[in-house]
Structure 1
């Protein structure tokens, strides 16, 4: 189970818990632009964003959810989008939640595998995934905790570990899809699934 850092960052006035400490010079009252905070080149930032979105999309596809499309927004921005049909049955809750958590975990893994990982960059990746994290927290009852609570509570790091395990099974496919998404900036779910050999 992870050690969580509870009081090292406030995002939009709300304390934000991270696995890794946010560098002191980035602890501001507002969200810092990811490009500035990560200190990556434009190409590296775009690749990190693509990996994040592919993490979502592939875990959802492998879990039987339908992806409409995956896209990277125009150059100069560090955001992407996976448009998925997320009306789900109880049987699909697991891939839904793990897919949401997988974006952040895919970015973290990509940073490690490319030699770009630092604790500070990992923390900023966590902050950039706050919408995904909120989605996960809203879809699990009882709500996961961050190193606090009763021994029977589910720690959010357990969900991250489960997302990591899903990504282990899909990583080669993700790396296969990465150049295609970077080239075209938008793929339909059918194009992505066909390219990586998933239903």
Structure 2
């Protein structure tokens, strides 16, 4: 998507723009937000980050959906500490976004079942190998899987719900930056409207 002719003028417009760009990342394989960087907390307390494909965005529930091999290290990290940050950058629109929140892993629930049913056959084969992601192997590359037997047991959905979204739009006539925060306390009802919205110095 080309850079907008003019930056969003109000905070409401900024938030709508950011959420729309995330949704475009799901629909457009060439969009910068098609893949995002997902950071979790490693078992030693340090940061760990990887690039993942953005599968779905629900702007009302404030969730992003990602898919993973259930045996991967990030799953154990999220189970241990659900705090996650997501970062994306689209070079065409010169937009960077950072989102902070919490993630949950669905291994065998309705969400994972529906995501698996909607997955393409080639995508399912990624979860078929018996080798655990990140484990040592004797040689590379491993032959690709041709049968998806057992693959469903290795598949999981990561559902990330953000409570902070930071938007940074880069432009020759002046950068713009804004932050939105939601209050997701124990007694707070889920809301698409942020509790706080503010402009930031770029």
TM-score normalized with structure 1 length: 0.27
More helix by share: 1
Q: Larger RCO: Structure 1 or Structure 2 (Cα < 8 Å, ≥ 6 residues apart)?
A: 1
